[in-house]
Amino acid sequence: MTTALPIGAGFGEEPLPEQELVRIRDVIYRAAGIFHPDNKLRLLLDRCGRRMKELRIPSLHEYTEYITTRPNRQTELVALLNEITIGETSFFRNQPQLDAFRHVVLPKIVRAKSPLPIRRLRLWSAGCSTGEEPYTLRMLVVEEAAAQLKDWVTEILATDLNERSLAHAQQAVYGSYSTRNLTPAYRDKYFIPSGDKLEVNALARSNVNFSRLNLSDDSRMTFMKSMDAIFCCNVLIYFDLASKRRVIQHFFNNLLPHGYLFLGHSESLYGVNDDFRLVHLPGATAYVKGERGLGGEKST
């Protein structure tokens, strides 16, 4: 693992000019909307250092040229983004939010769509990291399959920018840290032993579709239509205000009229978007499309 170096220092005795990091920061921002402020450049330097070690590139100047002018620069940019976007998550990470979705939001979605000839529930885990969130949502849906979701078709779309995280998600094998919040009932019903780890079984993996998606890719984002709920937790912290506004507008456009957006517990759309309305749920908050939530409750 490469240790972060202070600006002005370098690998060996070579000086490390700040302008090279700024160039790389700008490349990342244009490609993915992820912005590293000046006080985060040390972190960016560390991530670049890992890639330089892998490629045996001795100087940041050469790496900057590698990622901006070489024919395989796009491949290397993806590799660098993999280093930058390493997430930390677990199953049932935010239990109050999940309870609010299952017991308050989901019944409202069901009531709104029940008159339709095709009963289909579409959920999107945007920034799914290593897959714990979409698999958790799938387990909740299965638990409701005999009750409020009887005869419903469910699709869970799980997207992330990080290729390594997606590979982990599709492998679906997790250690003790990721599975620490599982109850014995969920562990027995939805997992099988895999050495000293647990593997998500076929029931919990069905109808969960993973794909790589850059949330800053406007053309791809326009295809994520007809969502009933979007979970985008602890992702927007990597974006500056302009990027946040663009992503949130896509979420708004892609949600159905009754749709809900869930963010991380410390995240807010204050000053970002006025189209969504904040709703207070038991133990959690969410954003609903439109001025009033389903059932007529007033948003605040």
148-171 as b/e: b if 16+ CB within 10 A: ebeebebbbbbbbbbeebbebbee
> pLDDT tier at 45 (50, 70, 90 boundaries)?
very high
What is the average per-residue pLDDT within 132-158? 96
Taking only the tens place, the pLDDT of each residue in 116-137 is 988 999 999 999 999 999 999 9
pLDDT in tens, 202-215: 999 999 999 999 99
Weakest-pLDDT range from 194-198, 240-244, 275-279, 291-295? 291-295
pLDDT of residue 88: 79
How far apart (Å, rounded) are the C-alpha atoms in residues 204 and 102? 16
Which amino acid appears at position 110 of this protein? V
In this prediction, residue 3 carries a pLDDT of 35
Q: What is the pLDDT of residue 9?
A: 41
* Digit-coded pLDDT (tens) for 238-289: 899 999 999 999 999 999 999 999 999 889 999 999 999 999 999 999 999 9
Q: What is the mean pLDDT of residues 164-183?
A: 96
Q: Does pLDDT of 181 surpass 80?
A: yes
Q: What is the pLDDT of residue 39?
A: 85
Q: Report pTM.
A: 0.84
Q: What is the pLDDT of residue 263?
A: 97
| 95-296, CATH topology level | Rossmann fold (3.40.50)
Produce one character per residue of 97-106: b if its CB has 16 or more CB atoms within 10 Å, e if not.
bbbbbbebbb
- pLDDT of the residue at 11: 42
Residue range 222-233: mean pLDDT, rounded: 96
Q: In the predicted model, what is the mean pLDDT of residues 229-246? A: 94
High-pLDDT (> 90) share of the chain, %: 78
**What value does the mean pLDDT of the chain take?**
89
Break the chain into its structural domains and give their ranges. Answer: 18-84, 95-296
pLDDT at 99 over 90: yes
